[in-house]
Structure 1
Amino acid sequence: MHNTDDTAPTHYDAILLAGFGGPEGQDDVIPFLRNVTRGRGIPEERLEEVATHYRHFGGVSPINDHNRQLKAALEAELKRRGIDLPVLWGNRNWAPYLSEAIEEAERRGFRSLIAIATSAYSSYSSCRQYREDLWGALDSSGTHGTITIDKVRQFFDHPGFVTPFIDGVDEAIAACEVDFGAAGLADEVEVLFATHSIPTADAERSGPRDLDFGHGGAYAAQHNAVAEVVMLAVEQRRAERANAEPLAPVPWQLVYQSRSGAPSTPWLEPDINDAIAELPAAGRRRVIVVPLGFVSDHMEVMWDLDNEARETAEQSGLSMIRVATPGTNRDYVSGLVDLVLERRDGVPVAERPAMTTLGPWPDVCRPACCENARLGFKPALAGIAP
């Protein structure tokens, strides 16, 4: 991937933290799920089924609290560096909405915003839909032509996002070495990098249309590339601990979770529970689950990994370690600020950090990038039309 964006320095009045949003009480659950699935024809009974996940936790998703914590961490990092950029916060699917954040910006006289979306990878739901909703927020607030919004690049391979996963997997592997011994670890343990499944058709359309990323499009390619970087770094640390004694690498694979929609619609596979169930036949005794597709411990992590995947592991006779998400990890927060400064200061592409050969990802999305064939194109910010 070659990023052709080499932008000039740009003044920004504030940062807009753009979140997914989540319910904060039992009465919020169904209205929230209707917001998330609007226009997709999801039946009410399916919403009720998903609602049980939220109701298990009192109807409260942790995602809003995580974003409050991230907002505070960003503000603290900006203050530490002496950078005068206020941080606004708005969600796509629940209060505070993006439109409310735009209205706040207008009240405070902010005219140029740089958005950080809480999603690192390229697909319709993890990138383009944020850009469409940002456009919609300007539209609903009547601020087109008054307020401009840029967006930081997709940061799947930025060191700030990847380093917490390297540290987390290394810590889990080190614990396994204590239990099973370093030499035999490759036979006893497997690492599963988990991310949200998406319809195969959406995956194939993820990323710029003029590049061929293979099966799963840019979405799968980005995840596989980051997982490989993580494991290479971890194996290097293992070798250092073993004083260069040859060690067989720990096996790993990319798996998917949280699929929804009609059973007849193909989604990315394998499902994490299916993958876990097959591990005992390969002689595995422990599984390390890495929520590589997530920036914080929201519902898909708490329910689908900490509940369902752990239950599958137990039923399969496996112990399980779940690696932490970046959350408010210092490297992650510092990396997000660095991404803002890239745009503010016009950092040349050649000087932008990227830990895979796919990056650094472009600042501005290319035509048809991450299109949704079912919903069609809608106006979107931070891209070349449409």
Structure 2
Amino acid sequence: MSTYDALLLVSFGGPEGPDDVIPFLENVTRGRNIPRERLEAVGEHYHLFDGVSPINRQCRDLKAAIEADLAAHGIDLPVYWGNRNWEPYLADTVRTMRDDGVRRAAAFVTSAYSCYSCCRQYLDDIDRARGEVEGAPEIDKLRVYANHPGFVAPFVEATRSALADLPDDVRDGAHLAFSAHSVPLSQPGRESYVTELRDVAAVVAAEAAPGHPYELVYQSRSGPPSQPWLEPDILDHLEKAAAAGTRAVVNVPIGFTSDHMEVKYDLDVEATAKAAELGLAFRRAATPGTHPRFVAMVRELLLERSGDAPERPTVGALGARPDACPADCCRNGARAR
């Protein structure tokens, strides 16, 4: 592959022990003046899991799966991994890449959608990391892939499995709740984010559960109550569904690539408890994780960007997202890559 001499996996990061939790949350909220008490309250979510977020383990597993997939297809390309908020920090990884002689890399980000926090912020992270490393390699972020078949197909499969796991007497009337991380209404790119989520939800519902009612809902909001965020919240939605006579809900977390803390706590703990309180049968569909189709998608995006695979596969109504964001996309004046 002549265009790139490395692939960089970029993710959010997470604590890997009890002593990491508050420092990690301080990294995440730096500059936002979040009270210590609030950080400690959120930290309790992590302590339910021994202070360990699953996301770093999942990144290690994904990195290994990508390496194996590339090798199986005759692509000799090293894979690196760097995080926004915890070790291995992105700047440290970029420094290692430089020392290893990498000159130009493609970056795969574990965030599938458009908007500031899903896309532009990662571009800013990459620029900032490169700015800290003299002689840093060029790094091109691979395109937004929310409507790529490799992202959507695992959700179709997982939704079918979750429906099949429901009791027979409630399965036919089960409601699908497609959930994604909420963002402030003021966030740049929010409209594109919602449009992409609706497109993915429609495809998964049509392919996995034709005839079942479904709705796009949100989860994991933060910030002051006075600041409007995307709604409805999944907990409110469960209450509404139960009040309307729904007996079963399948939650499909289409906003997430893996089962990290917002999935393990906000869905597997909070939403599951709320559903039990309301008497709802509740199942949560799996995220792509290291599903072979998702892993293959990384290779396909890499080949596509390098010019070795001209096709740009998509599902749904929106078409392939652009390789480079417009220069004025979202905020912070970050240059397109």
Give the structure-1-normalised TM-score: 0.84
Q: Does 1:124 align with 2:88?
A: no
- Equivalence map 1:57-96=2 (5 Å): 57-96=49-88
> Shift in Å at residue 163 of structure 1?
0.1
Distance in structure 1 (CA, Å) of the matches to 2:265 and 2:163: 24
Q: Which residue of 1 aligns with 2:267?
A: 305
Q: Which residue of 2 aligns with 1:147?
A: 137
Q: How many residues align?
A: 337
2:168 to 179, 193, 207: 179
Which of 106, 117, 120 is the equivalent residue of 1:114?
106
Q: What letter is aligned with 2:330?
A: C
Q: With a CA cutoff of 8 Å and minimum separation of 6, indicate the structure with the bigger relative contact order.
A: 1
Equivalent position amino acid for 1:314 in 2: A
Q: Are residues 1:228 and 2:202 paired? A: yes
Are the equivalent residues in 2 in contact too, given 1:133–1:380 (CA < 8 A)?
Answer: no
Alpha-carbon shift at residue 147 of structure 1 (Å): 1.4
Change (3 A) 1:380 1:97: farther
Cα deviation, residue 137, structure 1: 0.5
**Distance apart, 1:345 and its partner CA:** 2.1
Rounded Cα–Cα distance in structure 2 between residues aligned with 1:33 and 1:380: 28
Paired with 1:305 and 1:335, the residues of 2 have a C-alpha distance of 26
Aligned counterpart, 1:37: 29
| 1:142-189 Cα shifts (integer Å, max 9, x gaps) | 23xx5100111000000000000001112223344x60277xx2xx31
Equivalent position of 1:366 in the other structure? 326
Is it true that 1:98 corresponds to 2:117 in the alignment?
no
Higher mean C-alpha displacement, 32-41 vs 62-71: 32-41
Q: In structure 2, how many angstroms separate the alpha carbons of the residues matched to 1:126 and 1:368?
A: 16
Question: Which secondary structure state, in structure 2, belongs to the residue aligned with residue 30 of structure 1?
Answer: helix
The amino acid across from 1:312 in the alignment is K
Report the Cα distance in structure 2 between the residues aligned to 1:380 and 1:61, rounded to whole angstroms.
32
The answer for unaligned runs of 5 or more in structure 2 is none
* Residue from 2, 12, 28 that aligns with 1:20: 12
Larger Rg: 1
Distance (whole Å) between structure 2 residues aligned to residue 68 and residue 251 of structure 1: 37
Match of 1:192 among 177, 184, 206: 177
What residue in structure 2 maps to residue 271 of structure 1?
233
Retained in 1: the 8 A contact 2:163–2:283? no
Write the deviation string for residues 179-233 of structure 1: whole angstroms up to 9, x where unpaired: 0277xx2xx311000110000111xx20xxxxxxxxx501111001000001111
Letter of the 2:206 partner, please give it.
L
1:378 deviation in Å?
A: 5.2
**Alignment-derived partner of residue 158 in structure 2:** 168
RMSD between superposed Cα atoms in Å: 1.5
Report Cα offsets for 1:35-83 as digits up to 9, x if no partner: 1111222222211111111111111101000000000000000010010
Q: Aligned equivalents of 1:43 and 1:235: distance in 2? A: 44
Per the alignment, residue 209 of structure 1 pairs with: none
Q: For the Cα contact (< 8 Å) 2:326–2:336, is it kept in 1? A: no
CA displacement at 1:281 relative to structure 2: 2.0
In structure 2, the residue matched to 1:158 is 148
Q: Determine if contact 2:175/2:248 at 8 Å carries over to the other structure.
A: yes
Shift of 1:380: 4.8
What is the letter of the counterpart of residue 142 of structure 2?
A: V
> Please, what TM-score do these two structures have when normalized by structure 2?
0.96
Q: Equivalents in 2 of 1:181, 1:89: separation in Å?
A: 43
Q: How does 1:318-333 map to 2 (within 5 A)?
A: 318-333=280-295
Report the Cα offset of residue 357 of structure 1: 2.0
Task: Please give the per-residue CA displacement for 1:304-330, whole angstroms capped at 9, x wherever unaligned.
Answer: 000000000001011111100000000
Q: Which residue of 2 aligns with 1:341?
A: 303
Provide the residue aligned with 1:218 in structure 2. 192
Q: Secondary structure at the match of 2:180?
A: strand
* Matched-pair contact (CA < 8 Å) for 1:122–1:370: no
Structure 1 residues 240-259: aligned runs within 5 Å: 249-259=211-221
What is the percentage of aligned positions where both structures have the same residue? 49
Structure 1: stretches of 5+ with no match in the other structure: 1-8, 207-215, 237-248, 372-376
Summarize deviations over 1:220-278 as a string: whole Å, max 9, x none.
Answer: 11001000001111246xxxxxxxxxxxx110001100111111000000000000011
Instruction: Indicate conservation of the 8 Å contact 1:128/1:380, yes or no.
Output: no
